[in-house]
Amino acid sequence: MPSAVQSGVAHSLRRLGRFATFHVERLGYAARFFVAVIGNTPAAFRRLHLTLREIYFSGVLSLIIILISGLFVGMVLALQGFDVLQRYGADQSLGVLVALSLVRELGPVVAGLLFASRAGSAITAEIGLMKATEQLAAMEMMAVDPLARVVAPRFWGGVVSMPLLAALFSTLGVFGAYIVGVRLIGIDAGAFWGNMQSAVDFRQDIVNGIIKSAVFGVAVSLIAVFEGYDAKPTAEGVSSATTRTVVLSSLAILALDFVLTVFMFRGVS
């Protein structure tokens, strides 16, 4: 091979190697960061008002979008579900379809995606801006650990908010489906609720759904605080960190959803 091609190939390999090592290093750094954040949990709960404040900003302020989205998703599920089910004469099972879809999958996943875009990006931007305006450095120089005071409360605020938001999403979804299915389309209310109740198992479906949303909460919150803390302290740095949070969180949610679903629902046929 001519030496020009050789050096071209070598150059690409080197670039690939550097790319891989950079990301593996970053992953290791993120893992250490995660351990440090968890380690600061007692500090976060000692300053309970800070954590409550973060639950407010992550959870309460996301309520509107979660509740409205849940309602609409439930209503659409009912419309589409009815259309398909009635071809097999199974329209009495609409409640079952909607409830299982929401509780097992759509509740945790869609609420998680919405949470990542609304609250996750806000957390990243906030921490990134604090870094850019030297507020985090100032805190360090004042002998206050920013992990304890800024990062950990935001992490736990997200983790606590997520399962609650997912449950609210599913609830509004079921309610929306009820409105469309029973009130608008005319399915029997007794059949709707009755079939649903016998098909949805508490431990199998609801608890698993809650576990899923808790796992998503941890993933999204961790990604959000890490990207914020690690952002380059410039305008572009903060903006790309925010984008990365939304993208990574969304991918993480979908990937974790697959893994968790395999483990949780493989016995159910």
Cβ closest to other proteins, residue 159 vs residue 160: 160
Cβ closest to other proteins, residue 165 vs residue 256: 165
Least CB distance to other proteins at residue 9 (A): 29
CB environment 29-56: b (16+ within 10 A), e (fewer): ebeebeeebeebeeebeeeeebbeebbe
- 193 vs 174: CA distance, rounded Å: 10
Q: Phi/psi of residue 47, each to 5°?
A: -95, 60
Cβ closest to other proteins, residue 210 vs residue 241: 210
Interacting residues toward other proteins by CB under 8 A: 49, 52-53, 55-56, 59-60, 63, 88, 90, 93, 99, 103, 130, 133-135, 137-145, 149, 160-161, 163-165, 167-168, 170-171, 174, 193, 196-202, 205-206, 210
Least CB distance to other proteins at residue 34 (A): 19
- Within the chain, residue ranges assigned H as helices are 3-39, 41-46, 48-58, 63-85, 94-100, 107-115, 121-132, 135-141, 146, 152-178, 189-199, 208-230, 235-265
- 104 vs 114: CA distance, rounded Å: 17
Cβ closest to other proteins, residue 94 vs residue 248: 94
Least CB distance to other proteins at residue 83 (A): 17
Least CB distance to other proteins at residue 204 (A): 9
Cβ closest to other proteins, residue 121 vs residue 170: 170
Longest dimension (CA), the chain: 79
Least CB distance to other proteins at residue 5 (A): 31
